[in-house]
Amino acid sequence: MKTVVVAPLRKLGIILDMIKFEHTIFALPFALSSAIVAANGIPRVRIIVWILVAMVGARSAAMAFNRIADAKIDAMNPRTASRAIPHGSVSVGAAWAFVGVSAAALVLAAYMLNPLAFALSPVALAAVLVYSYTKRFTSLSHLCLGLCLGIAPVGAWIAVRGSIGFGSMVLSAGVIFWTAGFDIIYSLQDIDFDKKMGLFSLPSRIGAGRALLVSRLLHAGMIAMLIWFGILTGRGAIYDIGVGMVALFLIYEQSLVSPRDISRVNAAFFTMNGCVSFAMLVFVMMDVLL
C-alpha cells in the first residue's frame, strides 16, 4: 500500500517540478492586487480561494501543455533535454491527465465565482494553451505569453465585481508588457538554438542587442500602465512609492544582462521578477487598507 501511494505522489512532484509550479508566484500577486482594488479592501475568503484555484489551474494547464507541445524541441536543446518528458520520467499520457485536471479546476473555479467568469473561462483556457505554438510562426510569441499572464488581473476583477473594468484592462496591459520584457531576456539563452531550428524568438530574429532594447521599452511601458492604473482607480502616495520600487527593480533586472553577458539571466528572471510582483501586491494592499 505504501508503494502504491508514494509512487503517484512522487510522479506528481516530478510534474510540479516540470511546470515550475513555484513560478505561479509571478502573475498571482497582480491578480490579488486587482481583486483588492476591485473590492476596495480584502475580498471575501470564498472569492480569494476560487481566484487562487483558477490561477493555479490555468497556469498549470498551460505549462503542462507547453511541455507536451515542445517535447521534441526540448529533446534537441541541450538546455532543456533533461526536462521530464524528453528524459522519460513523466509520460505524455500523465502530462495530458494533469492538463485535464488543471483545466477542469479553472472552469470549476470560474463557475463558482459568477456567470461572466464561467462564460469566459473557455476563452482564457484557449489563450493559455495556444501560446505554446506561437513561437513556431511569430516573433510576437513573447507578447502572447504576456497575454496569458495578463488575463489574471481582468479575471480577478471579474471575480469580485462580475464585470470587466477598464482599470483592470490597463493593469493587464502592464502585466503583458512586463512578461514579454522578461521573456525576451530569458530567451537569450536559446538564441543560437532558435536560429538553428527556425523558431521565432525575438533575439534570434533581430539580435540580442535590439531584442534587449525592445525588452527595456516594454518594461518602461509597464511602468506607464501602472501609473495610469493608479490614476484611474484613485490610488495614493503609498501606491506611487510601490510603482517607484517596481521601476527600480526593473532597472536593476535590465542591468543584469547585456548582449555579451547573459550569465545572470536566472537572477534577472527569477529573483527580480518575484520582487516586482510581490512589491506590487504589498504596496497595493497598504494603499487600499491604510
Residues 21 and 270: beta-carbon distance below 8 Å: no
- Average pLDDT of the residues in 5-32: 78
**% of the chain surpassing 90 pLDDT:** 81
| Integer angstrom CA distances of residue 181 from 126, 266, 271 | 23, 14, 15
Q: What is the pLDDT of residue 5?
A: 47
Nearest to 149 by CA among 19, 62, 71: 62
Rounded to an integer, what distance in angstroms lies between the CA atom of residue 277 and that of residue 283? 10
Contacts (Cβ under 8 Å, ≥6 apart) of 257: 185, 188, 212, 264, 265, 268
Residue 159 has pLDDT above 50, yes or no: yes
- Kindly report the CATH number that applies to the domain delimited by 2-289: 1.10.357.140
pLDDT band at 266 (very low <50, low <70, confident <90, very high): confident
Q: What is the pLDDT of residues 68-115, one digit of tens each?
A: 999 999 999 999 999 889 988 889 999 999 999 999 999 999 999 999
Residue 124 has pLDDT above 60, yes or no: yes
Q: What is the pLDDT of residue 226?
A: 98
- Helix ranges (H only) for the chain are 2-18, 28-39, 45-69, 71-76, 84-87, 92-113, 115-134, 141-161, 166-187, 191-197, 202-206, 208-232, 237-255, 265-266, 272-289
Residue 30 has pLDDT above 90, yes or no: yes
Residue 2 has pLDDT above 60, yes or no: no
Contacts (Cβ under 8 Å, ≥6 apart) of 223: 174, 243, 246, 247, 250
Rounded to an integer, what distance in angstroms lies between the CA atom of residue 19 and that of residue 128? 14
Nearest to 127 by CA among 109, 107, 110, 147: 147
Rounded to an integer, what distance in angstroms lies between the CA atom of residue 143 and that of residue 178? 9
Q: What is the pLDDT of residue 7?
A: 66
- Global confidence as pTM: 0.93
Rounded to an integer, what distance in angstroms lies between the CA atom of residue 149 and that of residue 163? 19
